[in-house]
Amino acid sequence: MKRIIIKYIFILFISSNLLLSQYRNSNYTTEHKIDLTGNFIEDFKNNSNLINEEELQSTKNKYSPLCAGLYSAVIPGAGQFYTERYWQSIAFLGAEAFGWILYAIYEKKGDRHTDIFQNYADDYWSVIRYARWIEMYYGYSAADIIKDSPPDNVAQPWKYVDWSKLNYYEEEIGKQAHSGFSHKLAPYRDQQYYEMIGKYAQFIGGWNDAWNGSNSLYGKDDVFNERVSPNFLKYRDMRGDANSFYNIATTVSYVILANHIFSALEAAWSASKINNKLKLKGHIQPRTIYGNLVEYVPTLHAKYEF
């Protein structure tokens, strides 16, 4: 008895919603109008043709593509978790974690090698030595650049240099033919400072192993001879190592960004596909048991398209 009561309550719930939705649908003409008498069995009998002809079919929007996309845009894999595709979620989140680990490793390596080559430059390259080299080869008085005449191996040589006067002389020398001067030395501790002294031959004279007065700083056609200073070449390679680590970290950061974008697009697309593939059909079918006795059976069909 309880099973029968539950069955008919379920029939009443389904049928009332179906009938109400049909009655409220403005697209139906007056011939679809449902007449209700208040008698449950009679109402089903009188409107059985309508119930048989009209079928409730809807697409269930189980997931929001917008939410899925936004979740994965913030945290790759979150949108996949939202749509209950857990293996894909683990894959995207794992790629995110692995990417950040790699980024941190190579950034740290770049920082460590930067400290190494900067300390090397502070130990073996001197702006005072560079200014005196300019005086030797170009005739500009080092006394105008250097203040208080400190020794070559002074601990903090940049404090004894008039930087504006040094840059002025560099600019004047650059106007001469085949001088090789193309840059003005950036202030000490500036990133460009450490780049210039290991990149351009005009700064070779500041290295301690080039300053001996006997080795020629010039090669063929008045071009600076880089090999006059082994420390210059060593320092250049040290900077190259640090930059290579930073370049790898930058590439990894692009991959991390791409993982966010791809995860967001994939999550939104998959949510939309799931919604389109999952379809529900509701029926109330009259079934003749025997004679004139008719039983109305509610059915619900779920269809998922692969």
Q: pLDDT band for position 288 (50/70/90)? A: low
Asked whether 58 and 280 are in contact (CB, 8 A), the reply is yes
pTM listed for this prediction: 0.63
- Closest by alpha carbon to 247, among 109, 152, 148, 124? 109
Please give the pLDDT value at position 144: 83
Report the pLDDT averaged over residues 88-103.
Answer: 94
258 Cβ partners below 8 Å, 6+ apart? none
Please give the pLDDT value at position 13: 41
Q: pLDDT band for position 237 (50/70/90)? A: very high
Residue 46 scores a pLDDT above 60 = no
Q: At what angle do helices 86-124 and 230-277 cross, to 10 degrees?
A: 170
- Closest by alpha carbon to 201, among 182, 177, 214? 182
Cα–Cα distance for residue pair 236/105, rounded to 1 Å = 23
Please give the pLDDT value at position 19: 33
165: its two tokens? 């006067």
Q: Give the chain's mean pLDDT.
A: 75
Among 4-8, 137-141, 184-188, the range scoring the smallest mean pLDDT is 4-8
Q: What is the DSSP letter of 299?
A: E
Report the pLDDT averaged over residues 116-123.
Answer: 94
265 burial level (CB within 10 Å; 0-12, 13-18, 19+): middle
User: What percent of the chain is modeled with pLDDT above 90?
Assistant: 32
Cα–Cα distance for residue pair 83/156, rounded to 1 Å = 62
